[in-house]
Amino acid sequence: MSCILGFDVGTRLIGVAVGNRLTATARALDVVAVRGGEPNWDKLDRLFREWQPEAVVVGLPLTLDGEEQPMTRTARAFANRLRKRYGLTPHLCDERNSSQEAARSFADARRAGARRRSDGQRIDADAAAVILERWLHGEDHD
């Protein structure tokens, strides 16, 4: 099965999702801590070994006007480090409003009783799934 890993890069957490080209779907997978600007590479190594992705997608945080901002550089730097470490050229995907979309989905799931408040730390992984599904559906291919 050809899987793709998607990432929502933050300063404290990186959300990770896994998706499939065939079904064009993605699901939240995990969150990876970032300390001192460094992601937990051991955890990322484990995820890459477990899933053996054929491709990776990194969310590109742009302003509402589509301009770059400081977090854009952080996401680009992370994508470059993934390329060097795992030998895969990351695809970049506009992530505008992905966190809000993930938060809305989380709130809806809570109201329906399908999620608990303690699941809130996984919103970053939910945002990664939103980003990855957008990319899989071709909404923003680089």
Residues 3-136, CATH architecture: 2-Layer Sandwich (3.30)
Tokens of 101: 């979309």
Q: How many CB atoms sit inside 10 A of residue 84's CB?
A: 8
Per-residue pLDDT of the chain (142 residues; tens, 9 = 90+): 589 999 999 999 999 999 999 899 999 999 999 999 999 999 999 999 999 999 999 999 988 888 899 999 999 999 999 999 999 999 999 887 655 555 555 555 555 555 454 444 677 888 999 999 999 988 544 4
Say how many residues make up the chain. 142
Domain boundaries, the chain: 3-136
Q: Residue 34 region, left (φ>0) first, then alpha (ψ -120 to 50), else beta?
A: beta
Q: Residue 36 region, left (φ>0) first, then alpha (ψ -120 to 50), else beta?
A: left
CA distances to 9, 24, 70, 93 from 138, rounded to whole Å, are: 20, 10, 26, 10
pTM: 0.83
